[in-house]
């Protein structure tokens, strides 16, 4: 059952009668109603997959995960390969493709970039609605011959990232990647459609210090934290160095060198 964050009312609906049964399955899995007159959000099911739509006159368009077309496809084809800052941050180099845990997976965009470069990725997303979008996007990605090999390197885990890391079973990840939701700022918080939709559901990651602590305890080689460029570091141990871009930076906490 979803804890409806900040009192948000959420329903599941089929946009086409042919998908009513699938909508009912999602409603049952997520513990959400199918018919709520005053819902603020709708998880919508159609031939295009599953999408999250904020309801109301000024609401932005729907949010869905699409690894086949749009921004993901453009970045896969023209994004700069292993020269991208995120690739350098996690330690990708000749002969090195680390096993990475993305503990704040969101819509999976960064994880998809790293998987497309050859990293084996584990993804954790604790917000059930976002995890549902991600699960649906991964499933649809398997149907595309170019994207399927990448998606097969992306393994979705459900639950609270801190608890998942504290009770990790099996071989630990070499690198843990964190991109916590940054506290609200008027000028920047509403820029992206996804952020407008997600913030009422997710809020800020006020447990980011605990997230960093759990990551540092589990990762064998390094932890990487993505932050807005001018934001302070997460409270706790300080990173040894960082990579800075136009709008964001990567704080790097090394434990052991990654070698071929």
Domains of the chain: 5-54 (3.40.1630), 70-254 (3.40.50.150)
Burial 9-43 (b: 16+ CB within 10 A, else e): ebbbbbbeeebeeebeebbeebebeeebeebbbbb
Backbone angles phi, psi at 67, to 5 degrees: -90, -5
Quick one: pLDDT band at residue 10, thresholds 50, 70, 90?
A: very high
Any idea what DSSP says for residue 104? Answer: T
Contact 133, 108 (CB under 8 A): no
Is 179 annotated in a binding site? The answer is yes
Specify the pTM: 0.91
Q: pLDDT tens digits, residue range 71-130?
A: 777 677 766 678 899 999 999 999 999 999 999 999 999 999 999 999 999 999 988 999
Count Cβ atoms within 10 A of the Cβ of residue 169 and give its class: 0-12 exposed, 13-18 middle, 19 or more buried.
exposed
Q: What is the pLDDT of residues 22-78, one digit of tens each?
A: 999 999 999 999 988 889 999 999 999 999 999 988 888 899 999 998 777 767 776
Q: What is the mean pLDDT of residues 227-245?
A: 94
205 labelled as ligand-binding? no
By mean pLDDT, which of 14-23, 72-81, 138-147, 163-172 is the weakest? 72-81
Q: What percent of the chain has pLDDT over 90?
A: 73
> What confidence tier does 205 reach under pLDDT thresholds 50, 70, 90?
low
- Answer for the pair 99, 174: CB distance below 8 angstroms, yes or no: yes
Q: Is 125 annotated as a binding residue?
A: yes
């Amino acid at each position: 059952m979803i804890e409806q964050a900040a009192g948000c009312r959420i329903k599941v609906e089929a946009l086409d009668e042919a998908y009513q049964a699938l909508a009912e399955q999602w409603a049952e899995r997520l513990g959400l109603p199918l018919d709520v007159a005053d819902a603020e959000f709708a998880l919508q099911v159609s031939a295009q997959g599953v999408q999250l739509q904020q309801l109301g006159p000024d609401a932005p368009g729907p949010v869905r995960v699409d690894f086949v077309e749009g921004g993901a496809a453009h970045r896969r084809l023209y994004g700069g390969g292993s020269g991208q800052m995120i690739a350098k941050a996690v330690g990708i180099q000749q002969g090195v493709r680390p096993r990475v845990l993305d503990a704040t997976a969101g819509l999976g965009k960064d994880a998809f970039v790293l998987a497309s470069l050859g990293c084996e990725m584990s993804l954790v997303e604790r917000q059930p609605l976002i995890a549902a979008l991600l699960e649906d996007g991964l499933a649809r990605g398997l149907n595309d011959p170019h994207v399927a090999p990448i998606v097969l390197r992306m393994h979705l885990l459900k639950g609270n990232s801190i608890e998942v890391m504290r009770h990790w079973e099996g071989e630990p990840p070499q690198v843990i990647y964190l991109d916590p939701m940054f506290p609200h700022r008027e000028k920047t918080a509403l820029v992206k459609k996804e952020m407008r939709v997600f913030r009422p559901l997710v809020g800020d990651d006020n447990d980011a210090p605990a997230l960093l602590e759990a990551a540092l305890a589990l990762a064998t080689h390094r932890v990487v934290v993505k932050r807005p460029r001018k934001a302070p570091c997460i409270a706790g141990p300080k990173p040894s160095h960082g990579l800075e871009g136009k709008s964001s930076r990567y704080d790097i906490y090394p434990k052991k060198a990654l070698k071929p």
